[in-house]
Structure 1
Amino acid sequence: MTKTYQNPIAKNGDFADPFVLRHNGVYYLYSTTPYISCWSSADLLEWKLEGDAIEKDTFPGLVPFAPEVVYSNGKFYMYTSPSGFGHYVLESENPAGPFRKISDNIQHAIDGTVFIDDDGKWYFYWAGDEGIWGCEMKSPTEPGEPVLTGASMHGWTEGAFICKHNGIYHMTYTGNHYLSKGYRINGAWSTHPLRGYRDNAYNPIVIHTQGEVVGLGHSSTVMGPDLVSCYIVYHNMNEDLTRYLNIDRQLWRGNITQVLGPTRTPQPAPAVSDYSFPAGGRNELQWRILRGGRECKKDIYYSNGDDFFIISEQKFNPCFTAEFNIINQKGSEDGSCGIVLGESRARFYSLVFDIATHSMQLWYSGQGDNKLVKQSTLPAGYIFEALHCVRVECRQDGLISVFVDNRLQIQEAGIKLISARIGYFANGREIGCGFTAITEAISEEASEQAIIPVGTSFYPVFGQGEFKRNQDGSILLKEGQEAVYQILIADRMEYQFFVAGESGNDDAKAELLIDNEKLGLFTGKQGLQSYRAELSEGTRVLKVCGSGGELTIKKICFIQRENGEENQELPLPMKVGRYEKRIFGKAAWSDYTVTAAIMPELTGEEGNAGVLLRVTEPSEGGEGEDRVLGIHFFIGYSVSFTKKELVVTRHSYDSRILASRPFVLEPGRCYELRAEIRGAEISVYVDQSETPQIVVADTEPIMYGCPGVWAKDSLLAVERFGISV
């Protein structure tokens, strides 16, 4: 039976501001608690309390906020802000502590996080009203000059985390108030570690404001046990103000970050590696010792001398991801040790840590010949005698990528292997070998095969097939091509599918199939189309098959349909304002018409009043009760009167005007406002006009949601409100 998990995954404790470190095959979790509780896990699901990570007198009378830990050169550095009074750096030789202060107050607000780039430079980031700040670090305890990164939630922004994929820096960050149900996670990207971050088009990437498991935020990201998948780790807020732990798959491609969630139904448990040593993967690595011997001390296997060669008994596919943990022990200065990637003892590649040149070298050995393929200088201050994690990704096309302590150290094309064995060697030096694992896949492949849960709006690049993948997450699908997705159906019921995109020509079309049964035809002419299907529980296969012309597919989503009356007319009249939004109907509604008789009283200079369309995830600002700060806290559209214009606006916890036209509002007059939303297009009519005042299509359409009314710095009398679905 397939193992599953369901969020929240950990409830026995307070998991506020969770940060997870992976070290030597073990996960360590730290959270905001008086003495920084530390937990450990082998699989990201079952957590064992290790105890307090700091002594009780470390921060007397204060609570250390959002602790994060970085491993470097044999030491663990913790960054935390005691009750928001600047930041301190602490150090330990053990991931579970005890950590002790090694710095004075290095200042800056809260939620400090560290990112180490491929060139070995350290960067520090923290929270602020203006958005996320950052700086280059002079040392692990010395931050440099502050820079605004550009990542912002238009108010207090916190909980940043940075990772790098294929040269792009991806940031997740949280806001605005941790007590609000609208606490959420956004994503942004940049080509520079500190500057120019741009929002993801479909922010927030994690949010849930209604029902159970709300107030989702303050995340970190960690590689899964299989070495090829990653998980975002975040908390939810409970009514008693404790916070529970949640995880979901996280994917990257081009400029975009995709979270497959937030989930609240059972999901496949994080996969383990195909082989590992010590045991923990699907199978245990078996070793053949060709030279020397070894002995185990505290989870590290040390060679008995300075001549050592060990290689796996098993052979693996040439497309793989492997992890090695290695210590370059004592020995001669001209000695070396490293990692073996080979078909046999007679033909192999090796990754050599060379002390004399302070570098990592990629060598080829075969047919009596030794050839240096590539050499890459290690960062200044690199300590060979410390434990270091080396991750190797070898693609089918022969491109090898080598990461040392999560930094890209070597990348080289043309590495052709028929099969592969992995191992360690030492010549003239002693070696320590830690956790070792291999999976016969790479991260890109794993992303394309990810199982997509119900309720997730996903970028179509994360699918299998031969089609063009674009930097913005969309795909170009031509006739004869197909995109294939694995989707997870939670319960037997009716589901609604949405596809957003556009056609490249008049005859463009694609057929949608579920388990090879026809769901419908997508033409892209409406920008957004929806389909219904009755499905049973389990994993299903969704195919989008190009059957004519060219289509750009931008987003796909599927949700559970809600049963109930399709047409509603509410008992009225009602008064709305001054800062208020009210929603009606069902969140699964997509195409409908709202007809309202309304009398706006625009008292403020920036007053807006009118109707809402496709609203989901509503909340309020501040601690969750501030209607002024939270007037834009929802995902959806508004069709509103201002003092001088009729305006259609897109909201996603911010506001962006899609279209407007001059309109002089007569005080005290009741207007009939009719708004039709079909696919990606919104048409607006005033009074009995047969010609729309505004017709606008959203190129990044919100797919579904409730209708409603709202007033911003205004009052609104609603005499009549009808919904036709």
Structure 2
Amino acid sequence: MKNPYQIKLKDNSIYSIGDPFILRYNGRYYLYPSGLYEEEGIRCFISNDLIHFEDKGFVVEDKILKCAYAPEVIYHDGNFYLCTSPLGNGHYLYKSDNPLGPFKRISENVNNMIDGSFFLDENFNLKFLRADHNGIALLDIENENHLINRKNILPAVSNGWTEGPSLFYRNGYYYITYCGNFLTSTSYRVKVASSKQNNQNYLVQNEPLLISTDKDFHSLGHNSVFLGPSLDDYYLAYHSLVNLENDGHFRYLNIDRLSFSNRHVSCNPCEIEQSNFIRPDFECFVDENNLLIKDDFYLSKDSTKQKFTIEYNLKGNNTLVFSYQNSNKYCSIELEDNLIKVYENNILLVSKKLSINFNNFHTLRLINDSKLEILIDNVPIISLKSVNKGRIGYKSLTGVSYTAFINEANGSLQTKETTYVPNIIECKSTNGNFKNDYLDEAYIVLKQNKKVNYKIQTKNRKIRLVYLLLKSTSKGKILLTCNKSKKIININPQTDEYEFINYYLDELMINTGILSIKLLEGNVSFKRIIIKDKIKNNFTQEEYHFTKPCLIQSFDFEFNSFTRNSLFGLILNASNYSSHSSNNEPKYMGYLIGFINNLLVIEHVQYGKTRIYDKPIDIKLHQKYNLKIYYYNSILKVYLNGEQIIQTTLNYDDVYGYGGFFINREADVQLTNYKEETK
């Protein structure tokens, strides 16, 4: 597979794929992109392997569907529901008994802005998410065609317009992905927040989940999240944008794997050829030839291991078998109308009535790790103690369809997969001794003279910078290796203001292969590895003057007058500059250390500002001052006229980037004598 995809129509022409939504149903994948301006309908493309997509034509045609924005589809207890907002002028709801349609309209315009998305809550109630001026809103769907009980569940955190929500559940957490600010901005990006509850208390990750402002790969966003063929991976489908000579644009589908370390999630956009998607250890569209007949059960020829994920797809009352070892030792699930019962060795463990009916088609997924979790149509319904390994199967094959298992669970497959760099490598992309911090993010504790290995892939072989998100109490010596390149590095952080800090290791020749870290002495723990390409060139855009990364920066300044919106300062660790008018100032990611009139500020910048620190200074007009900063391994020191006035720890994920300076148009100030000491 290779990003970006070229999705073709039946006439072999390439179709523009904007706002891609991928539905996984009965072992297959259904892609629904936004409609084109000249079309009055929504197309679908189907795939068995997420590599080859077949054009299935329009699944709905309706005169009101001219330029249908961001269609999404969900399966709910016998029906498929589709929502879309044509030209962004409110939503219409449609219904079908087949993912390929035809979908019939079941509502008039239910309004509610743009970018609607469906979700099933823990009671199988159909919910509706959509973009909101204040972030992301969640609503109830009443009688299939009315939206009620609006609740804002996530504040606007993209520093501007927020859109394209998607909500999914994984391993105890609900994740909302969303994007902003405008689709033609090079900094169009995806962010993510997580919670133990689906309708409140979301914690936003500091860094974007997905962003690239590169000339050839930018404007990444409006994603959907879906379970991969392996049953243990989740993937992000999103579009990238190419500007056309006539001022229009063309969008392409991209698919990348998500990596998790407990609660934390990352995604590394990859532009090079990757290996195909991993398949389950056992899978079939069930018939008698695929299974053994034993003890009145139809069983798989192979057994699961102790850790497993199973998927059953079926319609009708039945008994599902798993952990089968012999006629007296197995587990089963009885499905009858709206009742589910779970047995172990013929002893009833749990019985539960549901608001769905098993006479309709449903997907059951069993995840056996430290516990057994049972999901129906991606809704978690039962959690029990872990069970044994064994064969899987059915009492009856009537109504049974795609069935599969893999000997992995809750992302354990991630340790065997390759991470594309430069970017983030999650600590749980290897095997090791893991603990959790107060956020329930995992970190790895290195063992003496033991190394941890990470499989990496990169576009080219070059010297890159390597950082750790390091536990600040770590101290010792490690051996950092990538294939044949090696460095011995002392670990000695100088701050414990935060539990974890960004810590620079060294430059290293990075290429496709194995990146390893070995503890030689002391104690070292970390959450993730961050690999960065070195910056080579200076550049100037508008009021921004970007220079190579610096250890020390300074300039002289003199106020002519104080103005209401004055802002200027030194730029630190800047990346992803984007000049689009939809972006708030400053138009990059990183830090700004400077002045708002006589207030000295340290701002975290992400197309907008978040205050980290401020201090009033008795600044006089028409008097020259010198501002200097020193930054290394998360510690920032700020000097005014040679006197240190601030020391603090910067704890965001902007570990490396441009230096330089910024002065906005409202600042009536003279900047002179800019100096830098380059790393």
Structure 1 length as normaliser, TM-score? 0.84
Map 1:559-570; keep pairs closer than 5 Å.
559-562=532-535
Give the aligned partner of residue 347 of structure 2: 371
Give the aligned partner of residue 324 of structure 1: 312
Give the aligned partner of residue 709 of structure 1: 661
> Larger deviation: 449-458 or 405-414?
449-458
**Residue type of the partner of 2:254?**
N
Distance 1:13 1:710, change over 3 A: same
Mapped to 2, the partners of 1:285 and 1:238 lie a distance apart of: 49
Instruction: Find the partner of 2:113 among 97, 104, 109.
Output: 109
Mapped to 2, the partners of 1:252 and 1:136 lie a distance apart of: 30
Give the aligned partner of residue 581 of structure 2: 625
Gap regions ≥5 residues in structure 2: 9-13, 496-500
Instruction: Find the partner of 1:594 among 531, 545, 553.
Output: 553
Map 1:178-189; keep pairs closer than 5 Å.
178-189=183-194
Secondary structure of the residue aligned to 1:595 is strand
Mapped to 1, the partners of 2:327 and 2:6 lie a distance apart of: 45
**Residue type of the partner of 2:514?**
R
Give the aligned partner of residue 313 of structure 1: 301
Distance 1:185 1:649, change over 3 A: same
> Larger deviation: 442-451 or 217-226?
442-451
| Shift of residue 120, structure 1, vs aligned partner | 1.5
Secondary structure of the residue aligned to 1:446 is helix
> Larger deviation: 493-502 or 339-348?
339-348
Mapped to 1, the partners of 2:243 and 2:531 lie a distance apart of: 30
| Shift of residue 652, structure 1, vs aligned partner | 2.3
Mapped to 2, the partners of 1:593 and 1:232 lie a distance apart of: 39
Mapped contact 2:553–2:630 kept (Cα < 8 A): yes
Secondary structure of the residue aligned to 1:267 is coil
Mapped to 1, the partners of 2:214 and 2:561 lie a distance apart of: 30
Map 1:572-587; keep pairs closer than 5 Å.
580-585=543-548
Mapped contact 1:171–1:187 kept (Cα < 8 A): yes
Give the aligned partner of residue 498 of structure 2: none
- Residue 603 of structure 2 is aligned to residue 645 of structure 1: no
Mapped contact 2:323–2:387 kept (Cα < 8 A): no
What is the percentage of aligned positions where both structures have the same residue?
23
Mapped to 2, the partners of 1:552 and 1:142 lie a distance apart of: 51
Give the aligned partner of residue 475 of structure 1: 443
Give the aligned partner of residue 652 of structure 2: 700
Mapped contact 2:321–2:330 kept (Cα < 8 A): no
Give the aligned partner of residue 120 of structure 1: 124
Could you list the per-position Cα deviations for residues 643-690 of structure 1 after superposition, in whole angstroms to 9, with x for gaps in the alignment?
222222211233222223222333344433322221212222234x1x
Could you list the per-position Cα deviations for residues 503-561 of structure 1 after superposition, in whole angstroms to 9, with x for gaps in the alignment?
327x5555544459445233333644324455364221322537324x45244211233
Secondary structure of the residue aligned to 1:193 is coil
Mapped contact 1:602–1:608 kept (Cα < 8 A): no
**Residue type of the partner of 2:517?**
K
Mapped contact 1:28–1:39 kept (Cα < 8 A): yes
**Residue type of the partner of 2:34?**
T
| Shift of residue 186, structure 1, vs aligned partner | 0.9
Mapped to 1, the partners of 2:560 and 2:257 lie a distance apart of: 47
Mapped to 2, the partners of 1:5 and 1:607 lie a distance apart of: 46
Mapped contact 2:455–2:514 kept (Cα < 8 A): yes
Mapped contact 1:492–1:534 kept (Cα < 8 A): no
Distance 1:341 1:477, change over 3 A: closer
Mapped to 1, the partners of 2:372 and 2:425 lie a distance apart of: 29
> Larger deviation: 34-43 or 658-667?
658-667
Could you list the per-position Cα deviations for residues 244-282 of structure 1 after superposition, in whole angstroms to 9, with x for gaps in the alignment?
1111111344442322x1222333332122221149xxx
Instruction: Find the partner of 1:149 among 134, 145, 153.
Output: 153
Map 1:39-438; keep pairs closer than 5 Å.
39-55=45-61, 57-59=62-64, 62-152=66-156, 153-201=158-206, 203-240=207-244, 241-259=249-267, 261-278=268-285, 286-290=290-294, 309-328=297-316, 336-355=318-337, 358-365=338-345, 370-378=346-354, 380=355, 382-395=356-369, 397=370, 399-417=371-389, 420-426=390-396, 431-438=398-405
> Larger deviation: 20-29 or 30-39?
30-39
Secondary structure of the residue aligned to 2:395 is strand
**Residue type of the partner of 1:274?**
D
| Shift of residue 703, structure 1, vs aligned partner | 0.9
Could you list the per-position Cα deviations for residues 310-364 of structure 1 after superposition, in whole angstroms to 9, with x for gaps in the alignment?
11122332322121111116xxxxxx44344412445321111023xx3211123
Moved over 6 A (4+): none
Mapped contact 1:288–1:310 kept (Cα < 8 A): yes
Mapped contact 1:276–1:285 kept (Cα < 8 A): no
Instruction: Find the partner of 1:659 among 597, 613, 623.
Output: 613
Mapped to 2, the partners of 1:509 and 1:654 lie a distance apart of: 39
| Shift of residue 93, structure 1, vs aligned partner | 1.6
- Residue 679 of structure 2 is aligned to residue 723 of structure 1: no
Mapped contact 2:311–2:366 kept (Cα < 8 A): yes
Gap regions ≥5 residues in structure 1: 292-307, 330-335
> Larger deviation: 490-499 or 18-27?
490-499
Mapped contact 1:181–1:214 kept (Cα < 8 A): yes
Secondary structure of the residue aligned to 1:437 is strand
Distance 1:339 1:502, change over 3 A: closer
Mapped to 1, the partners of 2:211 and 2:289 lie a distance apart of: 41
Instruction: Find the partner of 2:433 among 466, 474, 480.
Output: 466
Mapped to 2, the partners of 1:10 and 1:584 lie a distance apart of: 40
Give the aligned partner of residue 17 of structure 1: 19
Give the aligned partner of residue 305 of structure 1: none
Mapped to 2, the partners of 1:600 and 1:708 lie a distance apart of: 19
Mapped to 1, the partners of 2:676 and 2:195 lie a distance apart of: 43
- Residue 459 of structure 2 is aligned to residue 490 of structure 1: yes
**Residue type of the partner of 1:475?**
Y
**Residue type of the partner of 1:452?**
T
Mapped to 2, the partners of 1:137 and 1:23 lie a distance apart of: 22
Mapped to 2, the partners of 1:342 and 1:364 lie a distance apart of: 10
Mapped to 1, the partners of 2:238 and 2:677 lie a distance apart of: 39
Mapped to 2, the partners of 1:38 and 1:636 lie a distance apart of: 40
> Larger deviation: 645-654 or 525-534?
525-534
Mapped to 2, the partners of 1:536 and 1:635 lie a distance apart of: 25
Mapped contact 1:182–1:633 kept (Cα < 8 A): no
Mapped to 2, the partners of 1:638 and 1:184 lie a distance apart of: 21
Mapped to 2, the partners of 1:192 and 1:158 lie a distance apart of: 21
**Residue type of the partner of 1:41?**
S
| Shift of residue 65, structure 1, vs aligned partner | 1.0
Distance 1:528 1:193, change over 3 A: closer
> Larger deviation: 653-662 or 511-520?
511-520
Give the aligned partner of residue 558 of structure 1: 531
Give the aligned partner of residue 11 of structure 2: none
Give the aligned partner of residue 5 of structure 1: 2
Distance 1:535 1:267, change over 3 A: farther
Give the aligned partner of residue 27 of structure 1: 29
Distance 1:670 1:459, change over 3 A: farther
Instruction: Find the partner of 1:37 among 23, 43, 52.
Output: 43
Instruction: Find the partner of 2:570 among 606, 611, 614.
Output: 611
**Residue type of the partner of 2:95?**
E
| Shift of residue 710, structure 1, vs aligned partner | 1.2
Mapped contact 1:147–1:195 kept (Cα < 8 A): no
Mapped to 2, the partners of 1:310 and 1:601 lie a distance apart of: 85
Distance 1:226 1:345, change over 3 A: same
How many pairs were matched up?
Answer: 654
Mapped to 2, the partners of 1:541 and 1:346 lie a distance apart of: 47
**Residue type of the partner of 1:707?**
G
Secondary structure of the residue aligned to 1:146 is strand
